[in-house]
Structure 1
Amino acid sequence: MATEPVTVAHRYLNRTIVKEKSGTATSSRKKGKGCYFDTYRKWLEMACEDGTSAKATWTFKLPANAKQVRGDLYGEQGYSRAGKTSLTGKRIGKKKYRITLKITKWRQEFVEVAQVTYKTRVKS
């Protein structure tokens, strides 16, 4: 009995994936003189009162085929008399993404949610 090869068609779908962590679920926290961190339930407070700087990071795992990766933080700004706030997002290798929030001198930030959004292909 002869058999014929069978071709199986795989369908792929593009999906947008959203991953979230609470503000307190940081990967690292560093503070200089005159700065502090505090937590309120899922909220992280970062503040510098005439201090040097404070930095917090959130790291997310990603599939290797993740595309168009974007990171965001959601919360509120407290006082901001001087200094700066910077937010950056960076892919760390193929399977990780890091969000970094840094504040300097007389700044206060409250972070409730850290979020990463990306697109990926999955079999249907």
Structure 2
Amino acid sequence: MTGPRLVSILRQGSYLIASIHTALDDTEMTAFQHDLVERIGRDRARGVVIDVAALDVLDSFASWTLRTIGEVARLRGAVTVVVGIQPEVAFAMVALGMDTGSVRTALDLEEGLAFLDRVVGPRRPATATRGGPA
């Protein structure tokens, strides 16, 4: 029997939405990184939203891993935005001198998707059809 899922990665058109449901240890965070980067190529994602709203702590390794995911995604042709950083987590990150580097942030999933729509263009349907208008 398996326990609850720690993360989920869902495809929405040309975007991937990755939600972290609970705090991850370093090994789990590294596995999440590898899974997400693999999915970017497999799904030909143009944008990635990483939702961390469920986290009440974001340690230096997790922060570094999010930056790394963003940079690797960029090299693979996808824009990354981190959403849902809780106020207490943001205060702690600033106090400790941690940040997300060049990876953009947004308040929530809705704003993250709107940001990607502005930067990479509207989401395309999950299943593209061939031919002209009906």
More strand by percentage: 1
The structure whose RCO (Cα within 8 Å, separation 6+) is larger is 1
TM-score (normalizing by structure 2): 0.28
Structure with larger Rg: 1
